[in-house]
Every structure is written in structure tokens, then in C-alpha cells.
């Protein structure tokens, strides 16, 4: 397909959506409204009952707000095969905005640090006891803003293309910021993408660190697990890759972008997904073996609380789906070369990821007293009630809804990057063998 056709085709698909798209939007909107009902029903519940709500927040943060990192990291590595999938992963930044809805109630429910020994020893207005509330809000809001800026910067040339198609007026004229595509503008855009990408990456790690510590680990007395924030971030990256694969597959099958998304992109991501799934085991095992070996009573209780005790079914599903089954399937080349199989495995990992978040967050939120020195007794399991299920379903549906609506505005395929790909990827003949020449501009 020629370069001009790419722009026309992608913009056409962005502006005009079919009947199935609007049907899906309607269904998702209904489920989201049911979630709102569930939330209203939950008002007035004790803190211990909000575990599933916290898990949903953490899951959306893990999946959607980590997803742009896929684009950032592959851009830094200068891969050619990331071009077709870059936008699909960046676009998840808009879900971050939606996730703030979940953050606000949790912020109100989060207990102050009064009476606890914590790392928050600095005093910050309005009271030192609310330091985590302030820093976590800053980090999360910062992440949302950075994500949207990154998306905007990456999409400006495409907005300009849309502006031309729409006769130079309307919302695209604003979004394109007067982009003309001069050499200077391209240089600035490239530098900005690098800068914002780097900041986003760092803020993702920081936010994972803060959310996992303050909203999960710190609520369990005596749980000092220095690898936990990294485990949290790693599972986030795994989910980010998985959700990108699922999105790519949907774009390929129902979105009509079959020609744009080659097997190579799935193949490239599949290797990363395999590495992440192996590291899932590694990071989990590093924590487990230290607690298992040490035999300290508090560590034994924590293993019980988050792994083998009341939430054992959740743990086993998460462990099998995200790690054992994932690795067992992903080592087979034929599966990794099949987009459908990859999408199925990625979907399984996303399901496993939700169970993993539930075992961690429901367990941490279920403890009544956060000021004890050590966890001495593992509380009984809290199973989800009808409002919890409604909130979970509504939260997930709302996130997908926001993403789908965003594809109406932002082209889900990066037009300028697809054009750039055509410059740097040229077929060549090496004696009797057809090869591909990949240009590496410095």
C-alpha cells in the first residue's frame, strides 16, 4: 500500500465506525452504569469490604496505565516492528483518566499512618499522617498527565493529516497545533517523545512503587518485602504486553487492520511476553523462598495471607495463568507465530493478572488494625458480594469503553510511523535468497 493510501485508509477507519462498534459501545455503557449502581450500594461499607474495589483500581492501573510503556521501551530500542503497535499501546493512556474515578474513594478510605512505623518520616501539609495520600496523588495524576502528553506528541503528525482531510478546520486543527512537518518540527517531536517517554517510564515505576507499598503492603503489619514493588511493576509490564497483543488481535480481526499488523509484530512481542512470564516466577520465588526459609512467625503468616491461606484459589489461578501455563505455552514457536494463539495466551494472562491482584489487595484490605507491630493472626477470606461483582464488571467495561471512544478521535494506527517504515524496510535479493534490508538511521 502506498504512503498516501495509508493515511486515507487509516483516517477513514477512524472517522467512520460500523454498526458493531456502536453496539459494543452501548453494551459497555450499560455495564458501566451497573458498576455505578454497585458503587452506590457499597457506600457505607467498612474499609475491609473495599478490597475488590481496590483490586479493580490496581488492575486497571497495572494493565492500562502501564501499557504505554510498551511503546516507550520499543521506541527506545529502535525496533521497526513496534511501529504498527505503538499507537495501540499509547492510547491506553486515556484509560488513566478514567481510573482516577477509582482512586478518589480509595484515597478517602486509606488509613493515615498514625501509629505505624513507616518510611514516611517527612512531614507534609496538611499533616504528616497523610504524607502517602499526597505523594501517591501527585504520582498518579502526574502519570495521567504525562501519558496524555506523550500520546498527543506522538499523534500530532496524524492529527495534521486528519486536519487536511477535514478541510483544515474543527477539533483536528486544534489538536494538530499548526503542525507542518518541517525538519525542525520533526526534530522537536522526536526529542519530546524521548523525554516524555523516559519520564513516563520512570513515573510508572515510581507509581507502582507507591501504590503497591501504600495501598497494599503497608496495610499488613510486619510485611516488609522489598521486592514487592518490583513484582508489582513487572506484573504490570507483563499485563501491558498482554493487553497490547489482545488489542492488536482485535484490530486485526474486527478492526480491519489486517494488512498493517504483520505476524512479525506478534512474534516480537511474544518473546517479550515469554521473558516477562519467566520473570514473574523469578520475582515471586525470590520473595517466597526468603520468607519460607527464614521461618519467622510473621513471615509464615504473610505467606499464608497472600498465597496459601484464605485466598489460595485466587493465588493458584494467578500463578497458573500468568506463569506456569503462560511459560509452558509460549516456549512453542508455532504458537508464538500464530496471532490467534498469542491473543488467547495474552487473554489468559490478563485473567490471571486479575486474580493475582485480588489475592494481594483483598488480603491487604481485609485487616482491621494496621497499627500492630506484626501480623499475628490470618483473618478469614472475604468473598465478593453482588455490589463488588457489579463494580468489577463496571470498572472493566468502563475502561474498554473509554478506549473505544478514543479510537474515534485518535487514529489507532500511527500513520507517520507506518510511512516511515516504508523508507527503512526494503526487500533485497542475496544471490538466490530473498531478504529484507532494515535501515538503522543513527
Partner 1 sequence: MANQAVLGLYRTPEAAADAVGNLQQAGIGHNDYEIMTGVPYPEGTFGEPPVRHKLYVFPFMGAMIGLTLAILEGAGTQLAYPLVTGGKPILSVPPIIIISYELTLLGAIVFTVIGIIFESRLPRPALGVYDTRITEGLIGVVCTCPEERVEEVRGLLQRAAAIEVKVGQG
Partner 2 sequence: MQDRRTLTDIQVNETLTNTVLKTPLLWYVILAFMGGIVMLGVVAVGLLVNMGQGLNGYNRPVMWAFFLTNMVFWIGISHAGVMLSAILRLAQAEFRRPATRAAEVLTVFALATAGLMPIVHLGRLWRAYWIFPYDFSRGIWPDVRSQAVWDPHAISTYLIGSSLFIFVALIPDLAVLRDRTTGIVHSIYTMLAMGWRGTVRQWRLQAIAGIILSALLLPVFVSVHSIVSWDFSMLVGVPSWHTTIFAPYFVIGAVHSGVAGVITVLVLMRWLFGWHDYIRREHIDSLARLLFVVALAWFFFFMLEFMFGLYHQEGTEMVVRELWLFHAPWNAIFVIFILTAFVIPVPLWLFRSVRRSFPLMFFTTILVNVGMWLERFLLIIPGLERKHPFTFSWGEYAPSIFEITIITATFALVATMILLFARAFPLIPLGDAKEARVLRDEIRIGRRTVQAVLREE
Provide the minimum distance between the beta carbon of 264 and partner 2 in the complex, in angstroms, as a whole number: 10
How far is it, in rounded angstroms, from Cα 402 to Cα 95? 6
Which three cell numbers, joined as nine digits, stand for 241?
A: 504486553
423's contact among partner 2, partner 1, none, with CB below 5 to 8 A by partner kind, is: partner 2
Which residues of this protein are in contact with partner 1, per CB under 8 A?
288-289, 292-293, 295, 430-433, 435
For residue 85, list its beta bridge partners. Answer: none
Report if residue 437 touches partner 2, rule: CB under 8 A. Answer: yes
Question: From the list partner 2, partner 1, none, which binds 227 (C-beta under 5 to 8 Å, kind-based)?
Answer: partner 2
**Sole binder of partner 2 in the list 134, 278, 317, 404 (CB under 8 A):** 278
Q: Which does 432 bind (CB under 5 to 8 A by kind): partner 2, partner 1, none?
A: partner 1
Chain positions 313 to 342 lying near partner 2, rule: CB under 8 A, are none
The dihedral over CA atoms of 326, 332, 338, 343, expressed in degrees to the nearest 10, equals 0
Measured from the CB of residue 436, what is the shortest distance to partner 2 in angstroms? Answer: 5
Q: Does 432 bind partner 2 (CB under 8 A)?
A: no
The residue (of 428 and 440) whose beta carbon lies closer to partner 1 is: 428
**C-alpha of 17 from chain center:** 25
Distance of CA 313 to the CA centre of its chain: 24
Candidates 12, 117, 371, 376: give the one binding partner 2 (CB under 8 A). Answer: 117
3-state SS, one letter per residue, for 168-193:
CCCHHHHHCCCCCCCHHHHHHHHHHH
- What b/e sequence results for 377-409 when a residue is b if at least 16 CB atoms lie within 10 Å of its CB, and e otherwise? ebeeebebeebbebbbbbbbbbbbbbbbebbeb
Figure out which of the listed residues 1, 224, 250, 340 binds partner 2, where binding follows CB under 8 A: 224
Pick from 28, 101, 99: which is nearest to 65 by CA?
A: 99
In the list partner 1, partner 2, none, the entry touching 431 (Cβ below 5 to 8 angstroms by class) is partner 1
Give the CA count within 13 Å in the CB-facing half-sphere of 224.
8
145 exposure class (CB count in 10 Å sphere: 0-12, 13-18, 19+): middle
95 or 143: whose CB is closer to partner 2?
143
Segment near partner 2 (CB under 8 A); pick from 50-58, 114-122, 242-250, 400-408: 114-122
Q: Taking CB under 8 A as the criterion, which residues in 204-223 touch partner 2?
A: 205, 209, 222
Residues forming contacts to partner 2 in the complex (CB under 8 A) are 117-119, 121, 205, 209, 222, 224-230, 271, 278, 282-283, 286-287, 289-291, 293-296, 423-424, 426-428, 430, 433-442
Amino acid at each position: 500500500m502506498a504512503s498516501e493510501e495509508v493515511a486515507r485508509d487509516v483516517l477513514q477507519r477512524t472517522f467512520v465506525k460500523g454498526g458493531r462498534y456502536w453496539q459494543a459501545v452501548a453494551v459497555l455503557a450499560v455495564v458501566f452504569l451497573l458498576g455505578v449502581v454497585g458503587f452506590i450500594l457499597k457506600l457505607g461499607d467498612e474499609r475491609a469490604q473495599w478490597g475488590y474495589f481496590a483490586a479493580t483500581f490496581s488492575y486497571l492501573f497495572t494493565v492500562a496505565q502501564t501499557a504505554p510503556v510498551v511503546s516507550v521501551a520499543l521506541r527506545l530500542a529502535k525496533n521497526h516492528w513496534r511501529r504498527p503497535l505503538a499507537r495501540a499501546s499509547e492510547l491506553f493512556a486515556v484509560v488513566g483518566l478514567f481510573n482516577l474515578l477509582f482512586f478518589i474513594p480509595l484515597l478517602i478510605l486509606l488509613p493515615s499512618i498514625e501509629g505505624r512505623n513507616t518510611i514516611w518520616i517527612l512531614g507534609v501539609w496538611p499533616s504528616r499522617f497523610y504524607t502517602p495520600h499526597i505523594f501517591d496523588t501527585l504520582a498518579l495524576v502526574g502519570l495521567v498527565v504525562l501519558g496524555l502528553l506523550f500520546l498527543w506528541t506522538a499523534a500530532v503528525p496524524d492529527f495534521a493529516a486528519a486536519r487536511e482531510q477535514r478541510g483544515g478546520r474543527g477539533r483536528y486543527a486544534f489538536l494538530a497545533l499548526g503542525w507542518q512537518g518541517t525538519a525542525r518540527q520533526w526534530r522537536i517531536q522526536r526529542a519530546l517523545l524521548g523525554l516524555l517517554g523516559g519520564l513516563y517510564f520512570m513515573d510508572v515505576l515510581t507509581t507502582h512503587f507507591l501504590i503497591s507499598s501504600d495501598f497494599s503492603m503497608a496495610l499488613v503489619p510486619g510485611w516488609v518485602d522489598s521486592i514487592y514493588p518490583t513484582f508489582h511493576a513487572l506484573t504490570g509490564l507483563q499485563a501491558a504486553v498482554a493487553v497490547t497483543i489482545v488489542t492488536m488481535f482485535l484490530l486485526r480481526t474486527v478492526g480491519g487492520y489486517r494488512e498493517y499488523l504483520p505476524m512479525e509484530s506478534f512474534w516480537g512481542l511474544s518473546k517479550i511476553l515469554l521473558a516477562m512470564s519467566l520473570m514473574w516466577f523469578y520475582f515471586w520465588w525470590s520473595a517466597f523462598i526468603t520468607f519460607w526459609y527464614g521461618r519467622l512467625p510473621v513471615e509464615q503468616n504473610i505467606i499464608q495471607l497472600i498465597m496459601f491461606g484464605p485466598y489460595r484459589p485466587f493465588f493458584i489461578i494467578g500463578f497458573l495463568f500468568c506463569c506456569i501455563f503462560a511459560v509452558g505455552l509460549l516456549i512453542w514457536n508455532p504458537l508464538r507465530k500464530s496471532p490467534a494463539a498469542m491473543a488467547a495466551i495474552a487473554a489468559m494472562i490478563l485473567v490471571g493478572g486479575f486474580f493475582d491482584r485480588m489475592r494481594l489487595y483483598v488480603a491487604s484490605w481485609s485487616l482491621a488494625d494496621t497499627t500492630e507491630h506484626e501480623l499475628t493472626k490470618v483473618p478469614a477470606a472475604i468473598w465478593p458480594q453482588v455490589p463488588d461483582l457489579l463494580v468489577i464488571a463496571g470498572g472493566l467495561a468502563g475502561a474498554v469503553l473509554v478506549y473505544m471512544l478514543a479510537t474515534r478521535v485518535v487514529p489507532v494506527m500511527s500513520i507517520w510511523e507506518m510511512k516511515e517504515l516504508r523508507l527503512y524496510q526494503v526487500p533485497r535479493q542475496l544471490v538466490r535468497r530473498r531478504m529484507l534490508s532494515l535501515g538503522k538511521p543513527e
